Structure 1
Amino acid sequence: MNTNKNDKFNATTQVEDGTCTVYLRGELDLSVAPDFRQVMEPLVEDGELDLVINLKDLKYIDSTGIGILLSILKARHGMSAQFLVREVPAQIQKLFDMTGIAKFFASQENPQ
């Protein structure tokens, strides 16, 4: 398990049985976007691993964070590689619905 931490955001990765799960905690915004991209880049490019982002402990996401998630979705789709977003908190799901991106994650598991 690897962790990238700062005061307001951290991403923890766990690889098990061919699936890499990235647990996001805190606030994903412009100020932490470079850190998040650095964590995600090698994972996104590894088409052998299924990639899951768990948002259960994410408190806030801005347009920059949403843009990163969409770029991951696009890259993984282009590679025909698995990408799931799970456990989306209600306030973030509402934002996904309002911005129209929920449809891109509609087939994903999102237990509340």
Structure 2
Amino acid sequence: MPEQVKGSRSRTESRLFATSVASVYPLYLAKVERKGRTKAELDEVITWLTGLDEPGLRRHLDSGTTFEELFEQVDLNPRASAITGTVCGVRVEDVEDPLMQKIRYLDKLVDELAKGRSMDRVLRA
């Protein structure tokens, strides 16, 4: 396996960063709905993390905004650093690339929502 230069992005990361949020949103929604949670709860989690309001989230989804564009344009919730744990076997607090860490924060929140955690716990209240 070729050695990755520190600070450079892997092909997988680059592809993920260029993926539209709208293309992943239905997967997040299906995951939480399978576990009895709602679209409103998913949207609340996303708006909490990103600082967007509901119309702002819809605009990003409708316009095909990529993860990279989304996280460049929003101010992450100051409590986001309280999001800890693993996603896909990787501790989110240890992710070095700032953009990948923000994506992992979102993944972790969706996982917690799907696992049935209370909204207060998910939103670090």
TM-score range for the pair, normalised by the shorter chain length: under 0.3
Instruction: Give the helix-richer structure, 1 or 2.
Output: 2
Query: Which one has a bigger Cα radius of gyration?
Result: 2
Instruction: Give the strand-richer structure, 1 or 2.
Output: 1
Tell me: higher relative CO, structure 1 or 2? Use CA pairs within 8 A at least 6 residues apart: 2
| TM-score, length basis structure 1 | 0.25
